[in-house]
Amino acid sequence: MDSIKLTINGKEVTAPSGCTILEAARQNGIYIPTLCYDEAVEVYGACGLCVVEVQGTPKLLRSCSAKASDGMVVETESERVVKSRKIAMELLMSAHDGDCVAPCQLACPANTDCQGYVGLIANGKFDEALRLIKNKISLPASIGRVCPHPCEKACRRGKVEEPINIAQLKAFAADLDLKGDAYVPEIAPETGKKVAIVGGGPAGLTAALYLREKGHEVTVFDMMEKMGGMLRYGIPQYRLPKEVLDSEIAIIEKTGVRLCNNVKLGRDITLDNLRNVNDAVILAPGAWKSSPMRVKGEDINGVYGGIDFLRSVIQGNPVPIGERVAVCGGGNTAMDACRTAVRLGAKEVYVIYRRTKNEMPAEDIEIKESEEEGVIYKFLTNPVEIHEKDGRVCGMTLQLMELGEPDASGRRKPVAIEGKTEYIALDSVIMAIGQKLDPTDFTAVELTERGTIKADEDTFMTDLEGVFAIGDATNKGASIAVEAIGEADRCVKVVDAYLNGDELDFRTPYISKRDDDRIDLSDREKQPRTVAEVLPAEKRRNNFDEVSLGLTAEEAQKEAQRCLECGCREYFKCRLLSVAQRYDINPERFAGEMPQKYTRDENAFIERNTAKCILCGLCVRSCKEVVNISAIGLLGRGFKTSVSPAFALPLDETKCTNCGLCVKLCPTGALTEKSTLEKQVPLKEDYSVERAEIDGASCEYLVSRYGGEIIRAVPNDDNARACEKSREEIVKILSK
């Protein structure tokens, strides 16, 4: 075969005579994006992404159709080319109505694949669910119990009736794992790099586990007698049994992480020493100091910080609180404090909160259960002065409030009602309005004006080379545990790159998000949310037994099956998204009416969603040119053109053989295969019968191939139907 020589991106290459520029580039390992091209079908040139600049040619050429010639000089990523591709991508994405990632995952500070593990639980794949969770959450049984689950607030199922019970599903999968042969992650080969972590709370332990998984030697130093940080010393036993936390920490220790307790920075070790011995240091000390309210009398005996009070109880040496207790604050720490006070025997427990119940940041379930346990709420009140008698708290004067205009947080600002106060008799006061870092031992690094450790928002690097900082002790201060875990996960990637001498790209990759205002869920059947049974109030208020009894396997599957599966199942192999993330695009500038409504049409094998279609034509052309059936085609004209079976019939009423070729070639999630083999229908034609040994059994499948690659494998005997392996595993076995 004759060959030609041409130059692509400054590199001289050889290609067969008569080939296109795209073919020449591909044969020489040079990437040119395209979403409408496949070797099996005729060139269509619909997407406009494969354009290139050819020296001496004024217009950009579509490389899928333009022939390569001897001596041609081609640029595939010139400024003109990139600009053209960005516009093409923006136009495509502006008409692409779909969620790349589910809203629940986007709302999770740790970026947990909530939809993924909920779906696995729905299908009874509990082990797989746990492993997926552990990709992002190092302590899932603990976090599943205490997380205020922002994922659920974003869950679209809440637009139907109630959000999916994501947090308890996480705890269910993790608890099941702990009861059996608990999963211990695999460790990469040893790198010889050493990392020291100061702080054994959720941030520090997460960083330790994920750095260890990458093969680094990790040592965690913590000033307390046991690891766990605020999960251990700030969360009561009735919410998070410490036996559960201990089991999860033991798994981290099994990976080879070295845990050193009763070691305090500034007393037992110095930052200079850690830097000299290790290749990197991560500061994750947590926020252990209760924030003051600046109220007259708060230094009186009997006034305690919320965290200090909870820690004393957990350590088995509770401070004296008497029979009448006031807890100031409206967050979950305040809830933990008031409910703990009830369990310690206090007869009157008040929560003092300056706004109304609707503005409380605490979880609704915490408020409800505390009320059941007898806690008294005094809304629209604010402490003015704490009084003493005989050297101890005897009461408090409260300023009565009303709500004014919204403040910076969006909540209506409480305003004092002049001249109106109230007095309540008390034995103790617990200030649960927040916590912060005690900066005494961290003066070696630069601090913010708030007294927290200053760390770069992207790299987590402090002002000291090789020293990173994460969690409640940094920048904006204390937050929820899952946010600290998310920071730790991102920091691990940075530290690993730092240790390897690599650089990271901190740009946020583009993803497609649906407009919630356009989503109509009125046709969805309402199903009640499944919630774990709890101990009755009269029983739980007298002890520290765990309140929630957890979900059963049947309850977990039933609840998980309510998931709407908002995120696209094709996310990891979507070619449309891959190209979109390659360029800095802004589709919003072309936003307007969507050409297609978000509707699902399906048969037993294929799901179609025309709203995700970009009209590349690959499905239509492959059905006509390769399979010679034409079960689908282009319907309509202009802006309203769509891909549809003839006369808009269901696929089952067409000549479709369910060969799956259209699904295989679709560059988006517009055409997807049903997720389980059990749901697939028999092939109508064009298949072969193939057998494979699977777990010691001979299994028979009906197999359809395209270009030698399996695109469908349908069970054809009882052994195959009983096989519990995933479709991906079956395809791998049959392909050998």
What digits encode the pLDDT tens for the residues 612-667? 999 999 999 999 998 888 888 888 777 778 888 877 788 778 888 888 888 889 99
Q: Quick one: pLDDT at residue 84? A: 96
- The CA distance from 623 to 657, in Å, is 10
pLDDT band for position 696 (50/70/90)? confident
For residues 182 and 1, which has the higher predicted lDDT (pLDDT)? Answer: 182
Q: Quick one: pLDDT at residue 179? A: 94
Q: Quick one: pLDDT at residue 218? A: 98
pLDDT band for position 681 (50/70/90)? very low
Tell me the pLDDT tens digit for each residue of 41-58. Answer: 899 888 999 999 999 999
Paired tokens of 423? 């007095």
Reply yes or no on whether the pLDDT at 704 is more than 90. no
Reply yes or no on whether the pLDDT at 23 is more than 60. yes
Looking up tokens 């999770």 gives: 108
pLDDT band for position 408 (50/70/90)? confident
pLDDT band for position 680 (50/70/90)? very low
Q: How far is CA 391 from CA 158, 199, 300, in A?
A: 52, 37, 7
Reply yes or no on whether the pLDDT at 230 is more than 70. yes
Tell me the pLDDT tens digit for each residue of 577-605. Answer: 999 999 999 998 988 777 667 666 667 67
pLDDT band for position 260 (50/70/90)? very high
Q: Quick one: pLDDT at residue 685? A: 47
Reply yes or no on whether the pLDDT at 682 is more than 70. no
pLDDT band for position 678 (50/70/90)? very low
Reply yes or no on whether the pLDDT at 200 is more than 60. yes
Average pLDDT, the chain: 91
Q: Quick one: pLDDT at residue 642? A: 82
Name the amino acid, one letter, at 61. L
The residue-averaged pLDDT of 203-220 equals 98
pLDDT band for position 684 (50/70/90)? very low
Name the amino acid, one letter, at 510. Y
Least confident of 131-135, 545-549, 680-684, 709-713: 680-684
Q: Are 8 and 24 in contact (CB under 8 A)?
A: yes
**Which long-range contacts (C-beta less than 8 Å, at least 24 apart) are formed by 516-524?**
516/156, 518/97, 518/594, 518/598, 519/156, 519/159, 519/598, 521/156, 521/159, 521/160, 521/564, 524/160, 524/564
Q: How far is CA 677 from CA 195, 543, 713, in A?
A: 45, 49, 8
Q: Quick one: pLDDT at residue 306? A: 96
Q: Quick one: pLDDT at residue 90? A: 94
The residue-averaged pLDDT of 403-410 equals 82
Q: Quick one: pLDDT at residue 208? A: 98
pLDDT band for position 686 (50/70/90)? low
Q: Quick one: pLDDT at residue 573? A: 87
Q: Are 196 and 257 in contact (CB under 8 A)?
A: no
Q: Are 114 and 166 in contact (CB under 8 A)?
A: yes
Q: Quick one: pLDDT at residue 708? A: 66
pLDDT band for position 483 (50/70/90)? very high
Tell me the pLDDT tens digit for each residue of 500-538. Answer: 999 898 989 999 999 888 888 988 999 999 999 999 999
What is the H or E stretch that residue 205 is in?
Answer: helix 202-213
Reply yes or no on whether the pLDDT at 713 is more than 80. no
Paired tokens of 595? 């050409």
3-state secondary structure 456-506: CCCCCECCCCCEEECHHHECCCCCCHHHHHHHHHHHHHHHHHHHHCCCCCC
Q: Quick one: pLDDT at residue 107? A: 97
Q: Are 212 and 187 in contact (CB under 8 A)?
A: yes
Name the amino acid, one letter, at 458. D
- The CA distance from 268 to 542, in Å, is 40
- The CA distance from 15 to 360, in Å, is 68
- CA–centroid distance for 112 within its chain: 2
Is pTM, for the whole model, over 0.85?
yes
For residues 499 and 705, which has the higher predicted lDDT (pLDDT)? Answer: 499
pLDDT band for position 679 (50/70/90)? very low
Q: Quick one: pLDDT at residue 639? A: 73
Q: Quick one: pLDDT at residue 178? A: 97
The residue-averaged pLDDT of 169-197 equals 97
Q: Quick one: pLDDT at residue 247? A: 98
The residue-averaged pLDDT of 486-512 equals 94
Q: Quick one: pLDDT at residue 683? A: 44
pLDDT band for position 156 (50/70/90)? very high
Reply yes or no on whether the pLDDT at 254 is more than 90. yes
Looking up tokens 């609180």 gives: 321
What is the H or E stretch that residue 672 is in?
Answer: strand 671-673
- The CA distance from 599 to 611, in Å, is 7
Q: Quick one: pLDDT at residue 325? A: 98
Tell me the pLDDT tens digit for each residue of 349-403. Answer: 999 999 999 999 999 999 999 999 999 999 999 999 999 999 999 999 999 999 9
- The CA distance from 394 to 379, in Å, is 21
CA-nearest of 142, 248, 269, 136 to 199 is 269
User: What's 145's DSSP letter?
Assistant: H
Residues 6+ apart with CB under 8 A from 336: 234, 235, 236, 239, 306, 310, 432
- The CA distance from 255 to 205, in Å, is 12
Q: How far is CA 37 from CA 247, 248, 276, 619, in A?
A: 52, 49, 56, 11
For residues 124 and 701, which has the higher predicted lDDT (pLDDT)? Answer: 124
Highest mean pLDDT among 317-326, 660-669, 700-709: 317-326
Evaluate the CA torsion angle 703, 705, 710, 711 in order and state its sign.
Answer: negative
Q: What's the Rg (C-alpha) of the chain? A: 30
Reply yes or no on whether the pLDDT at 445 is more than 60. yes
Q: How far is CA 385 from CA 151, 297, 390, 391, 394, in A?
A: 39, 6, 17, 15, 11
